[in-house]
């Protein structure tokens, strides 16, 4: 089903109001980062009750998304009313690609993000991701063009340069082209597990007037609060922290049992692939189960086997009726958006 034939129109919300409201509360925006394979509709549904304010899609290759119906079916599924605020992140290498993608999804999300942070070699070789931080004029042109093609806010996610001056200049240029907010991962494209440079994020925040989001090594609510204190940022974005504990922003130290039950129930409703179900469960349980228990879990190769294993911990078989009533109503009315 093409997005244009969905049964119920999505009423897109005001993404930037989330930043305004959190600022007025003296708080910060809690954001689920784009995660390859993981941050699709089922995982976004899992996160929503646990104080996650904004959720990103996985990075989507813009030209494939626009040209191929099959790509759209695979890459983007959503629901009206419930799956929001949602930011769709695109990889693009020229203004036309990003503009076409932004126009295509304008009625189906709350924001568009340009990925200038992916450090993987294939992405950089294709002119995507971190390659773009060395081509600020292209970033300027892409954001400017996309803003003329959609009414949605356009944001940019970057990694830092080797120097403060280069990073600050990049941030200022991104602000100048009309980006609504900027997400900064505090490592360079060549860095993987080195400590995050929060000082450079602080200096970016001090240099621009648009909201700045910090990304990197926020694995608990306590760490997120510390990052805000160190940098003064408007939001904190995390990926691995939420994979290990989807209730992290709610203040839980490890994944609560109710969260595991919700994941089982979501699979009952949506029926997505076993590998996705199992992989995310494995991430969620690694800090909950003992090493021996995890070894047992990792040997399981069927949904029935997993459910039997989980029953020993008080997890019941999937029941969509335990989910938010609106999810079930929408699914029953076939308002499932598939782009």
CATH class label, 3-243: alpha beta
pLDDT of residue 328: 56
In the chain, what are the domain boundaries? 3-243, 257-338
Confirm if 255 and 287 have CB atoms less than 8 A apart.
Answer: yes
pLDDT in tens, the chain (339 residues): 344 434 445 566 799 999 999 999 999 999 999 998 899 999 999 999 999 999 999 999 999 999 988 888 888 988 877 899 999 999 999 999 999 999 999 999 999 999 999 999 999 999 999 999 999 999 999 999 999 999 999 999 999 999 999 999 999 999 999 999 999 999 999 998 899 999 999 999 999 999 999 999 999 999 999 999 999 999 999 999 999 999 999 999 999 999 999 999 999 988 888 999 999 999 999 999 999 999 999 999 999 999 999 999 999 888 877 786 555 555 544 333 433
Confirm if 284 and 313 have CB atoms less than 8 A apart.
Answer: no
Q: Catalytic residue among 109, 116, 118, 177, which?
A: 118
328 is catalytic: no
pLDDT of residue 211: 98
Beta strands in 167-295 (DSSP E): 182-185, 212-215, 235-238
DSSP H helices, 48-134, are: 62-67, 69-75, 95-104, 121-125
DSSP H helices, 180-256, are: 198-207, 221-231, 240-244
pLDDT of residue 271: 84
pLDDT of residue 326: 52
């Amino acid at each position: 089903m093409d997005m244009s034939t969905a049964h119920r129109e999505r009423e897109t919300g005001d993404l930037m109001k989330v930043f305004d409201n959190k600022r007025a509360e003296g708080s910060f925006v809690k954001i689920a980062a784009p995660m390859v394979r993981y941050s699709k509709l089922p995982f976004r549904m899992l996160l929503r009750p646990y104080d996650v304010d904004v959720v990103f899609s996985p990075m989507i290759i813009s030209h494939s998304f626009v040209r191929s119906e099959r790509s759209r079916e695979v890459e983007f599924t959503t629901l009206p009313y419930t799956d929001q605020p949602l930011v769709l992140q695109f990889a693009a290498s020229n203004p036309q690609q990003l503009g076409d993608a932004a126009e295509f999804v304008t009625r189906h999300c709350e924001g568009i993000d340009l990925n200038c942070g992916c450090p993987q070699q294939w992405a950089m070789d294709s002119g995507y991701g971190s390659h773009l931080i060395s081509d600020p004029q292209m970033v300027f042109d892409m954001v400017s063009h996309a803003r003329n093609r959609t009414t949605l806010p356009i944001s940019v996610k970057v990694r830092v340069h080797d120097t403060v001056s280069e990073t600050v200049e990049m941030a200022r240029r991104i602000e100048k082209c009309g980006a609504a907010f900027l997400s900064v991962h505090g490592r360079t494209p060549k860095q993987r597990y080195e400590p995050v440079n929060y000082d450079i994020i602080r200096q970016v925040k001090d240099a621009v007037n648009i909201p700045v989001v910090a990304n990197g090594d926020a694995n608990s609510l306590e760490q997120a609060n510390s990052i805000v204190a160190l940098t003064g940022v408007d939001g904190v974005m995390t990926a691995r922290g939420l994979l290990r504990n989807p209730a992290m922003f709610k203040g839980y130290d490890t994944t609560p049992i109710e969260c595991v039950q919700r994941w089982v129930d979501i699979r009952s409703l949506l029926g997505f692939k076993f590998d996705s179900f199992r992989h995310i469960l494995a991430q969620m349980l690694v800090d909950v189960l003992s090493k021996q228990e995890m070894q047992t879990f990792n040997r399981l190769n069927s949904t029935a086997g997993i459910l039997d294993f989980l029953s020993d911990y008080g997890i019941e078989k999937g029941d969509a009726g335990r989910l938010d009533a609106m999810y079930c109503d929408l699914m029953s009315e076939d308002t499932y958006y598939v782009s």
